[in-house]
């Protein structure tokens, strides 16, 4: 699971690690009511972090690779 904070998510969006080939970042509310960002990569299922669960609530797409 690649869950990061906003600062790290923004660094991914800025292109700091292009070799990792991040595909999408989903912003969601975590179990404790905090804000988290789930990063998906080519090998991940396309709906990772987009399906609500006790750990992922109110998911929205924060960024997608062009």
- Could you list the mean pLDDT of each consecutive 10-residue stretch along the chain, which spans 66 residues? 90 96 97 96 95 96 96
Query: What's the whole-model pTM score?
Result: 0.92
Number of domains forming the structure of the chain: 1
* Domain range enclosing 24: 3-64
Check residue 2 and give its pLDDT: 84
DSSP state of 20: G
Q: Pairing relation of β-strands 57-64 and 3-4? A: unpaired
Q: Pairing relation of β-strands 24-29 and 3-4? A: unpaired
Check residue 1 and give its pLDDT: 52
């Amino acid at each position: 699971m690649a869950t990061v904070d906003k600062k790290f998510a923004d660094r991914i969006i800025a292109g700091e690690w292009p070799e990792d080939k991040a595909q999408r970042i989903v912003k969601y509310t975590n179990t404790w009511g905090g804000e988290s960002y789930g990063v998906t990569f080519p090998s991940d299922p396309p709906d990772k972090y987009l399906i609500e669960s006790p750990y992922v609530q109110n998911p929205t797409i924060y960024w997608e690779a062009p």
